[in-house]
Copies of this chain bind each other. A is one copy, B any other.
Amino acid sequence: ITKKVLMLPGDGIGPEVMRQVQRVMDWMAKKRDINFDVTEGLIGGASIDAHNNPLTDETLADAMAADAVLLGAVGGPKWDNLPFDIKPERGLLKIRKEMGLFANLRPALVFDALVGASTLKEDVVKGLDIMILRELTGGIYFGQPRGVEERDGVRFGFNTLVYSEPEVERIARVAFDMAMKRNKRLCSVDKANVLESTVLWREVVERVAKEFPEVEVSHMYVDNASMQLVRNPKQFDVMVTTNMFGDILSDCAAMLTGSLGMLPSASLGAADETGARKALYEPVHGSAPDIAGQDLANPLATLLSFAMMLRYSFDMGEDATMIETAVQNVLKGGLRTADIMQPGMAKVSTTVMGEAVINELNKL
């Protein structure tokens, strides 16, 4: 059975990094007889330009029908001054919500060859390997009521942070499952000394913990977590947190690695009766409009997002590992795109980097 993949290149450097994934797919078809049925679609600014809408019903239907979605990047200055309701980001938030992608997996990984790129000292980050689970379809991102209103002549802006017990339960379960596959340590991040919503969060995590007696669970306030990530990030294995805290902490953790251009992510929905989950994969970096279209972007985060797709959506762990190994070998060989360039290394283009990954795949 062929796997149906929807590709959403999006804006900025999205299309050019996506092309390198297409090459790896072609290689897999030829060399490993694995075929993907690929559809392309528009999202974000590209979709606004074409349809005045950052996510059309048609693209959403394609996403729902696909086995997995691969996204490039969304947004850019061209669309920055659009009203709140039709900004490119709206497309991203809508696709997450409509597909029910409640579990955002954000690995923060330091590649040995790139440890020097971090602003942190080598001993603090060498070997860093954290998995952050961010709740992605709830919390203050989606809570009602929300808006800006005038009351007695004074304007107020308001949002609602809300979590139900089942919402916390399902993300907690994904986090514990993940911890079981890793080093069996889970840190749940909340602000239970101030926010009642996260008092409930902590209570539910505690309850789910009973189902996973092998996992060592801890709780940390979000302000302390942001300090601990800087002080000693290697203390963490898996972290789980709310949508908003996850947005902040996962970006902080990503930057600890010093190579944002290397980091993939996955957003997963609930498993259906057959065990299949809706899923969307995307690099952590943005659309980088300043270098778009110049063959300068780093395609590795998108290739590694594709590897995550193979592992989580298609149970093709072996092929995922092949791609990851190929990427590591390319780095060891000294090739670097501009964003991860280091003295003494060879600076290459997006295309040459993609080519190099294929070459390494051929050697495996």
Interface residues of A (CB under 8 A from B): 84, 87, 89, 93, 119-121, 124, 140-141, 143, 146-148, 154-166, 191-201, 222-224, 226-232, 244-245, 247-252, 254-256, 260
Contact = CB atoms under 8 A, between A and B. Distances in A.
Contacts of A256: 230
Q: Taking the full assembly, how many copies of this chain does it contain?
A: 2
A274 to B, nearest CB: 27
Given A119-B231, A223-B251, A249-B226, A196 B157 contact: yes
A251 B231 contact: no
A310 to B, nearest CB: 27
B226 A252 contact: yes
Contacts of A196: 84, 146-148, 157-159
Contacts of A163: 156-158
Given A166-B154, A222-B247, A252-B252, A159 B195 contact: yes
A260 B158 CA distance: 33
Contacts of A160: 158-161
Q: Which of A121, A166, A198, A248 has its CB near the most chain B CB atoms (within 10 A)?
A: A248
Contacts of A121: 119-121
Nearest to A249: B226
Contacts of A165: 154-156
Contacts of A200: 148, 155-157
A239 B99 CA distance: 36
A309 to B, nearest CB: 23
